Structure 1
């Protein structure tokens, strides 16, 4: 008792294959994982964009008035 034999290893591998679905799924997961790591590394290498000098026309530091207008008189 307490030893892991070939029967236990085969049962373990069958369970792992049932969980991950067999062919293609594990390689797909690993491929997506690798793409995520590459994207992260690329993002770390790119310089930060200075958001204080935007060209969108709106200043970031300007407050926006969000108070609702008073109800207009109904006709």
Structure 2
């Protein structure tokens, strides 16, 4: 979860909020709203910037690798 957050494919807090924490529900709801918003932007506004290939850049993957190493990687 931390790595998808570093890449930009999940919401802030996804990698650090515990699964049993009450804040997790709000995170799920926000994730659902975000998916709907991004889908609308793509299909209704022809906004290609919301596609995963445009979010998860080479630099984002390098950042995720640095995070993985910093966390002790597993």
Does the alignment reach a TM-score above 0.5? no
- Which structure has greater helix proportion? 2
User: Which structure has the greater CA radius of gyration?
Assistant: 1
- TM-score computed with the length of structure 1 as normaliser: 0.33
Q: Quick one: higher RCO (CA 8 Å, sep 6+), 1 or 2?
A: 2
